[in-house]
Amino acid sequence: MTDPPARSFELLSRETVWSGRIVHATRNVYRYPDGREQVREIVHHPGAAAVVAHDDLHVWLVVQPREAIGEPDVLEIPAGKLDVPGEPPLECARRELVEEVGKTAREWEPIVSFAPSVGVMDEIIHIFHATGLGEAPGGAAAQPDERIEIVAWPLDDLDGAIAVARDSKTLIGLMWLRERLRR
As annotated, the active-site residues are 146
Phi, psi of 47 (to 5 degrees): 95, 175
Q: What is the dihedral of CA 103, 75, 23, 87, to 10 degrees?
A: 20
Rounded CA-CA distance 90/66 in Å is 24
Distance in Å from the first CA to the final CA of the chain: 23
Beta strand spans in the chain (E): 10-19, 24-31, 37-44, 48-54, 58-66, 71-76, 79-81, 103-114, 125-135, 149-154
Rounded CA-CA distance 11/138 in Å is 48
Rounded CA-CA distance 152/60 in Å is 5
Taking phi first (over 0 means left), then psi (-120 to 50 degrees means alpha), and beta for anything else, what does residue 147 get?
A: left
